[in-house]
Amino acid sequence: MELDIQYQGQTFTFRFSTPSEKDINAFIELNRKGKTEKASKVLVFSAVDPRDRTKLKDSPELVRDRVAVIIGQHLGLTEEDPYIEDEKLYVPVYDPELEIEMFEEFTLKSFNYEKTKEMLKNARGIKLVEKMKEAIIDSVEESQKMKNVLESFPLIAIRIFPVLVKTIEDEVKAEIKKSESLQQK
């Protein structure tokens, strides 16, 4: 993929490729440790063709920021967040042809919290993302459509998974509160 960015009358052209598994692992681990800026740099430089990395480093900050946003969108790190409403999961996906983010809709089915917790126990980096993808696919009716989204946008799983878990945790807390208030009566 090639990208032209216009800035102050100049055109900056960069070639891209999908980051390696090692670089995606580094991105995930740095993010987990709260080093988001460093994680972003690792991801951007790993996605830019090695022949264009010096050009990127020497580019104005606004150009580098634009490159980071575009790479993120292509990997599934969208500006919009996934959300759940009325038993439906809405996942933002980037359409490179239209250059916009659109929401894909999925119908939720039961989420096996215990199985997922066990599955994720010792997973790290890319293995963790693979396990998250498995849990996400298992939690929606349109599993093939979700599989396609997760394959097209390798990092979207780390955006979707926390939304699913938080919703489940909120439901569990609500059930506990409800049963406690019934016991008090």
Whole domain around residue 59: which residue ranges?
A: 2-75
* pLDDT tens string 10-32: 888 888 887 877 888 888 888 77
Residue 109 scores a pLDDT above 80: yes
* pLDDT tens string 37-53: 888 888 888 888 888 88
Query: Average pLDDT in the 125-140 region?
Result: 82
Residue 128's pLDDT is 77
- Domains: count for the chain: 2
**Higher per-residue pLDDT: 99 or 41:** 41
Query: Does 125 lie in the same domain as 56?
Result: no
Query: Does 57 lie in the same domain as 120?
Result: no
Residue 5 scores a pLDDT above 80: yes
Query: Does 120 lie in the same domain as 48?
Result: no
Residue 162's pLDDT is 85
Residue 89 lies in a domain: no
Query: Does 167 lie in the same domain as 111?
Result: yes
Residue 174 lies in a domain: yes
Query: Does 180 lie in the same domain as 107?
Result: yes
**Higher per-residue pLDDT: 79 or 106:** 106
Query: Does 115 lie in the same domain as 49?
Result: no
* pLDDT tens string 33-89: 888 888 888 888 888 888 888 888 888 888 888 888 888 888 888 778 899 898 899
For every residue of the chain, which 3-state class applies, written as one string?
Answer: CEEEEEECCEEEEEEECCCCHHHHHHHHHHHHCCCHHHHHHHHHHHHECHHHHHHHHHCCHHHHHHHHHHHHHHHCCCCCCCEEECCEEEEEEEECCCCEEEEEEEEECCCCHHHHHHHHCCCCHHHHHHHHHHHHHHCECCHHHHHHHHHHCCCCHHHHHHHHHHHHHHHHHHHHHHHHHHHHC
Residue 185's pLDDT is 65
